[in-house]
Amino acid sequence: MPLTESVTFKAKLQRGNRIQVPRLYRWHYKMEPDQALQVIVTSENWKEETFIARMSADGRITIPKLTLDLLKGDAESLSGSVLEVALHPLSFSGEADKKGVGSEEATAMLDKIKDIRKDLAKKENSAS
């Protein structure tokens, strides 16, 4: 059963620009790693950014580099800083809700993006 309501918690930014979703939240809400989530991250200087991500099997979410740069602002680094994280189930408005389409569509889109990134990395490595 995927996440069906919003969850807010504080997390320390870990190595590799990742944050850990607390185990109790993963257990309580029976969160699935393949579910697409809307993630809202607020830094210590009250800058807020939103992105879409999936949780890995070990319960971590990777924050995109651009998002981190926007959160950082004038600060030198965010490494080791505490961030406020809000996870929301990803829902589509309009016709998608009527058809019953939900996180499966978002998961498929994230998989396509992942494949495109792999192909671009292969092309870049072969060009070097």
Do residues 3 and 31 touch, judged by C-beta distance below 8 A? yes
pLDDT tens digits for 9-36?
A: 999 988 888 999 999 888 888 888 888 8
Q: Is the pLDDT of residue 102 over 80?
A: no
Rounded Cα–Cα distance for residues 110 and 113 (Å): 5
Q: What is the mean pLDDT of the chain?
A: 82
Contact 52, 38 (CB under 8 A): yes
Statement: 7-90 belongs to CATH 2.40.30.100? yes
Task: Compute how many other C-beta atoms are within 10 angstroms of the C-beta atom of residue 76.
Answer: 6
**Its pTM surpasses 0.95:** no
Supply φ then ψ for residue 84, to 5 degrees. Answer: -95, 125
Q: What is the pLDDT of residues 29-74, one digit of tens each?
A: 888 888 889 999 998 878 889 999 999 999 999 999 888 888 887 7
Tokens 């607390």 belong to which residue?
22
